[in-house]
Amino acid sequence: MHASLEQVREQIVDLLPRLRRFARTLARDPHDADDLVQIAVERALARSEQLRPDSRLSSWMFGILRNAWIDEARTRGRRNQIFAPEALGENVGDAASETHTDVLSVQDAMARLPDEQRVAIGLVLVEGLSYKEAAEIMGVPVGTLTSRLARGREALQAMLADTTGAAQ
């Protein structure tokens, strides 16, 4: 049975914190990330009849958000990269604790990954989805997801090598 549009709206409201988090793994600038969420929400509501009763709203929304990100990245170029270095530089200067520096460097490293690796890392490592769910959202076989994940991890590991080494 179909959920009513009102029910879908409220379920999307409940999902907003996770959608914002996922968007933040994709777009480095928080405002850009929220813009992405807004676009995804509006697109989802415009075609809510496509939501099948047996599919998970969260997966559907993550998929729309991911597609919106890929579209944005292709058509508008990397607006976030214009703003990222300055914002990062300021925060690094303010960071008193080592933990703070760590967190920032992860976000900076994420912003350097190719788009699809970023999506894979965001879905599996940050959102905690299974390989199967993540692969479905990205519309690729599990093997493709696994290799993107592995390459993304390897790149992150290399970029974060210093801080990881110091922490262990």
Partner 1 sequence: MKFSEETLMAYADNELDAKTRTAVEEAMATDPEVARRVAQHKALRGKVRLAFDNVTDEPVPQRLIDAARGVPAVRREGNVIPLRRKAPPPRAWPQWASIAASLVVGVIVGQAMLRGSGSDLVTSRGGQLLANSVLSHALSEQLASTQTDQSAVRVGVSFKSKAGTYCRTFTAHESTTLAGLACRDHDDWRVQVLAQTTSTPENNTAYRQAGSALPKSVLQAVDDNISGEPLDAAAESAAREKNWNP
Neighbouring CB atoms inside 10 A of 72's CB total 20
Return the number of the residue (1 or 46) whose C-beta is nearest partner 1: 46
Q: Max alpha carbon distance in the chain (Å)?
A: 54
Which of 70, 91, 60 is closest to 26 using CA atoms? 70
| Apex 132 CA angle, 65 and 55, nearest 5 | 60
The one-letter amino acid code at 99 reads T
Judged by CB under 8 A, the residue of 41, 111, 135, 138 near partner 1 is 41
Residue 111 lies near partner 1 (rule: CB under 8 A):
no
Map tokens 């850009």 to a residue.
32
Residue 102 lies near partner 1 (rule: CB under 8 A):
yes
Instruction: By CB under 8 A, name the binding residues for partner 1.
Output: 9-10, 12-13, 16-18, 20-21, 24-25, 29-32, 34-35, 37-39, 41-42, 45-46, 79, 83, 86-87, 90, 94, 102-103, 106-107, 110, 121-122, 124-126, 128, 130-131, 146-147, 149-150, 153-154, 156-157, 160, 164, 167-168
